[in-house]
Amino acid sequence: MPDRYSSFPAAPFGPAGAFFAVTPNDGAELAYLTTGLYIGGAGDVSVADPVTAVPVTFKAVPGGSILPVRTARVLATGTTATFIVGLA
């Protein structure tokens, strides 16, 4: 199928060009640095800052929402949200 947008540069705030299931893990980085996370099931989401690796927990993220964060790691420790999808 032709991509009508292939001649446009990808914007960091634009729609995701890749998406993937996220399994929270304290030791492994994600396949891509994200531009956001889709949170399917409500809960807390703990991520590592992509520059400093300092963990930050977003509390009570509603299910069905998009968390607009750039991260390379979603931590298992502190994450209770489910059905997380990485957007990149």
DSSP classification of residue 12? T
Give 28-73 pLDDT, tens digit per residue.
999 999 999 999 999 999 999 999 999 999 999 999 999 999 999 9
Banded model confidence at residue 75, pLDDT cuts 50, 70, 90: very high
Q: Are residues 73 and 21 in contact, defined by beta-carbon separation less than 8 angstroms?
A: no
Q: Are residues 87 and 16 in contact, defined by beta-carbon separation less than 8 angstroms?
A: yes
Instruction: Quote helix, strand, coil % in the chain, to nearest 5.
Output: 0, 40, 60
Which residues lie across from 41 on neighbouring strands?
Answer: 82
Decide: pTM greater than 0.75.
yes
